[in-house]
Amino acid sequence: MKGDHSGNLNYPRNLLVSFHRQMLRIRLCEEAFVEPILAGEVHCPCHLYSGEEAVAVGVCAALTDRDYVFGNHRSHGHYLAKGGSMREMVAEIFCRETGCSRGRGGSMHLIAPDVGMLGSAPIVAGTISLALGAALASTIRRDGRVAVTFFGDGATGEGVLYECMSFAALKKLPIIFVCENNYYATHMPISECRVGREIHEIARPFGIESRQIDGNDVLAVYDAGLHAVEKCRAGNGPVFIECLTYRYRGHVGPDDNVQGSHTDIRPREEIELWREKDPIKRFEGYLTDQRIMTQEELNMAREEMTREVTDAHDFARRSPLPRAEELERYVFA
Amino acid sequence: MSSHRKLSYSLAINEALHQTMAADPSVFLIGQGVKSPWYVGDTAQGLLERFGTDRVIDTPVSENAMTGAAVGAALAGMKPVVVHPRVDFMFYAFDPIINEAANWYYMNGGKLPVPVVFWGIINRGGEQAAQHSQSLHGMFAQVPGLKVVMPATPYDAKGLMIAAIREPNPVVFIDDRWLYKLEEPVPEEIYEVEIGRGNVVRPGNDVTVVASSFMVQESIKAAEMLVKEGINVEVVDLRTIKPLDENLILASVQKTGRLVVVDGGWRTCGLAAEVSALVSERAFGALKAPVVRITLPDCPAPASAILENAYYRTSTDIIRAVKSIL
Ligand SMILES: Cc1ncc(C[n+]2csc(CCOP(=O)(O)OP(=O)(O)O)c2C)c(N)n1
Ligand SMILES: [Mg+2]
């Protein structure tokens, strides 16, 4: 797939290798939840990220551990890409005491403050203003940190997004609004949620630099992320990035929401079309075409990531469950 | 017309919507998921096909605006039902519900009532954690200008939805997914359950158990167990939590002298505290033992199933409470 990306060709090899590893790591980790969910071993609602890996990986690669990220209901990828521990995430999804939220939060409450992942929460648009606040803190302290808010196309329906854009623009806050447009909000195709105007255009009236990119092209995402981070660090934030992407799985759980199934939403051809644009497959094609990695090296990476996922599941399974007596352990009021 | 036709709780709501929408063209339904079979259960089934997209409106994720729109449509002469598939999502809509709808009539000297139904579904359990598990009826009930109903049975679900839609003032209608499969005979005709009227669902002389919504079913279970031990519990189903059927509660406590208040909400400043205060103010002399509250602890809903089990109250807790004051 030569030329099927918009990045320049001067990326260090180890960066490209890590993009591949990170995306693969997320994909394999996500897909490994399918069986335990179907077997009733994982109960908490899991909104799988498969298909959207390039967004989290590209954006987070442009950040440092000191920068902040806030997620939403579909944040396994954000958490892993930001550097959260896979063991702790899987344990959280299995609701174990060793999970990143000690089994209190489950899939929709992932947090890793040490690496700047300040949390995720399943209220649509609920964390956008929190990222705004993190950016505000950075500005007050003049510490150069950047805050990223990941949200979906569905979140563009909530008024708080516009309030945040307005204030961020007014104060030139170092916040990057990353909209993951996967064309659906639960059962609603985007055409039933908004008129045909492109999402990236919503930021312009606030004077925010904004663009739409191919969210399945990790290099394009990285370039956009890097540019946005530079602008924000220079005091010229905020920046808005709309990433066009697609989730292979349905809204929640392994179900693919294909037409004809009980959830009956998406045409099968549409899912297949997006499979052609798979961010990992495409990037692997690029890596081999450019002779950056051999097929054998790709296979080895896959085996290594598979081992990490297996290890994380083993860790989760042998971890203790929270104790009923500790229900109120973190209650302070 | 068979008086023995059985209907589930969710289909009883569905029938109420069908019948009120057919009877009154000013009634319409708006909210997330009303066109989807897997969103609001089967409560909205067949409505879109029958009444069309003008009156059955699935919406973007915009709770504040959609709820405000329902309030505005009510001011303009319609009778909207705005549904929130989880009460947790209603926080975005607190402004139109509380600041605007609840206050409008009073603040304008009674010039214009607001005939709107705010329908919120309690949808908890399943390791969904705090933001997908809350029961907020206590907060709504604290607000002057909102009536709050919480049906515990299919019969009441239908009758209260119809009454809520016909009511000229804002009503918060809160139902519970844990009740959706419950079945009982439900009349086919259109009927109302009067707002503000509770119901003694099981008579008894020893202890009064006051409950609402899902906890009524747990209370009945507890009463059935206790009767085997010779303890006769009177179960009072509030049905409406604002305004409270005070006389019904007081009459029962006058009879039994003992009270357990069961609520699916939090403890502090909650519904159970209100009922308990009412009884200590107005029936203190009748009490033979302290009032006991069975509520959620003041704690967010956890994900882990083990913690969930420790969090939610059941008939076992009610049985223990009843025995503790005998
Ligand atoms: C305030 C609020 N309203 C409704 C919901 C139910 N809900 C969960 S995810 C979702 C749609 C989100 O769509 P989008 O933002 O596009 O994210 P995606 O799931 O596509 O990643 C909705 C409506 C919610 N969680 N919070
Ligand atoms: Mg979406």
- The residue annotated as part of the active site, out of B127, B132, B184, B246, is B132
Q: What is the pLDDT of residue A1?
A: 39
C-alpha separations of B292 from B219, B253, B320 in Å? 14, 13, 10
**pLDDT for B4:** 86
Query: Which of A37, A41, A43, A194 is the best residue to mutate to test the B interface, defined by the most B CB atoms within 10 Å of its own CB?
Result: A43
Query: Ligand 1 pocket, A73 CB below 6 A?
Result: yes
Instruction: Give tens-digit pLDDT for B18-63.
Output: 999 999 999 999 999 999 877 888 999 999 999 999 999 999 999 9
Q: Has B132 been annotated as catalytic?
A: yes
Q: What's the CA gap between B235 and B99, in Å, rounded?
A: 35
In angstroms and rounded to an integer, the radius of gyration of the C-alpha atoms of chain A is 19
* Domain limits, chain B: 4-187, 199-324
Strands (E), chain B: 6-8, 27-31, 56-58, 79-84, 117-122, 147-149, 171-176, 183-185, 199-202, 207-211, 233-237, 240-242, 259-266, 292-296
pLDDT reported for residue A257: 87
CB-CB neighbors (< 8 A) of A72 in chain B:
none
Query: CA of B192, closest CA in chain A: separation in Å?
Result: 33
B60/A157 CB distance under 8 A:
yes
DSSP state of A266: B
Q: Which of A74, A90, A123, A202 has the highest number of chain B CBs within 10 A, making it the mutation to test binding with B?
A: A123
Q: B45 and chain A: CB distance < 8 Å anywhere? A: no
Tokens of A283: 């990037």
Quick count: other Cβ atoms within 10 Å of Cβ B180? 21
Residue of B25, B29, B24 whose CA lies nearest to B13: B29
pLDDT reported for residue A197: 83
* Ligand 1 site-directed mutation target among A186, A252, A255, A265, most atoms within 8 Å of CB: A186
Q: Do domains B4-187 and B199-324 have the same CATH topology?
A: yes
By C-alpha distance, the chain B residue nearest A125 is B61
State whether residue A192 sits within 8 Å of chain B by CB: yes
State the DSSP H helix or E strand holding residue A303, giving kind and residue range, or none if neither: helix A295-318
Which chain A positions have a beta carbon within 8 Å of B301's beta carbon?
none
* Region of A259 on the Ramachandran plot (φ > 0 left; ψ -120 to 50 alpha; else beta): beta
Q: Which residue of A has its CA nearest to B130?
A: A105
Cis peptide before B113 (omega within 30 of 0): no
CA-nearest of A251, A254, A188, A305 to B60 is A188
Q: Does B254 touch chain A (CB under 8 A)?
A: no
Asked if CATH classification 3.20.20.140 holds for the domain at B4-187, the reply, yes or no, is no
Tokens encoding B55:
């009156």
| Ligand 1 touching residue B61 (CB < 6 A) | yes
Closest CA to B209 of B279, B307, B114: B279
Residue with tokens 């033979």: B288
Chain-chain contact of A263 with B310 (C-beta, under 8 angstroms): no
Please name the member of A122, A193, A323 whose beta carbon is closest to the beta carbon of B131: A122
Tokens matching residue B57? 């409106």
Instruction: Assess whether B63 carries a catalytic annotation.
Output: yes
pLDDT tens-digit profile of B57-101? 999 999 999 999 999 999 999 999 999 999 999 999 999 999 999
**Which among B32, B132, B298 has CB closest to A331?**
B298
Q: Would you state the pLDDT for residue A8? A: 52
pLDDT in tens, chain A (333 residues): 344 454 456 899 999 999 999 999 999 999 999 999 999 999 999 999 999 999 999 999 999 999 999 999 999 999 999 999 999 999 999 999 999 999 999 999 999 999 999 999 999 999 999 999 999 999 999 999 999 999 999 999 999 999 999 999 999 999 999 999 999 999 999 999 999 889 999 999 999 999 999 999 999 999 999 999 999 999 999 999 999 999 999 999 998 888 888 778 899 999 999 999 999 999 999 999 999 999 999 999 999 999 999 999 999 999 999 999 999 999 999
Q: Which residue in the set A106, A160, A192 is minimally distant from B303, CB to CB?
A: A106
Interface size A-B, in CB pairs within 8 Å, comes to 117
Please count the residues of chain A. 333
> Cα(A41) to centroid of ligand 1, in Å?
24
Nearest to B163 by CA among B152, B145, B151, B176: B151
Residue B164, H or E segment: helix B154-166
Instruction: Indicate the residue of B33, B304, B310 with minimum beta-carbon distance to A187.
Output: B33
Tens-digit pLDDT string for chain B (326 aa):
456 899 999 999 999 999 999 999 999 999 999 998 778 889 999 999 999 999 999 999 999 999 999 999 999 999 999 999 999 999 999 999 999 999 999 999 999 999 999 999 999 999 999 999 999 999 999 999 999 999 999 999 999 999 999 999 999 999 999 999 999 999 999 999 999 999 999 999 999 999 999 999 999 999 999 999 999 999 999 999 999 999 999 999 999 999 999 999 999 999 999 999 999 999 999 999 999 999 999 999 999 999 999 999 999 999 999 999 99
Burial of A211 (0-12, 13-18, 19+ CB in 10 A): middle
CB atoms within 10 A of CB A290: 13
Contacts of B168 (CB under 8 A, 6+ apart): B113, B115
CATH 3.40.50.920 given to domain B199-324: yes
pLDDT of res. A125:
98
CB–CB of B60 and A154 under 8 A? yes
3-state helix, strand, coil in chain A (%, to 5): 45, 10, 40
Query: Which tokens hold the place of A52?
Result: 């959207």
Q: Which atom of ligand 1 is nearest to the CA of B89?
A: 1
Amino acid (1-letter code) at residue A257: N
B296 neighbors B265 (Cβ within 8 angstroms)? yes
d(CA A238, CA B148): 43
What's the gap in Å between the CA of A277 and the closest CA on chain B? 27
ipTM, 2 dp: 0.95
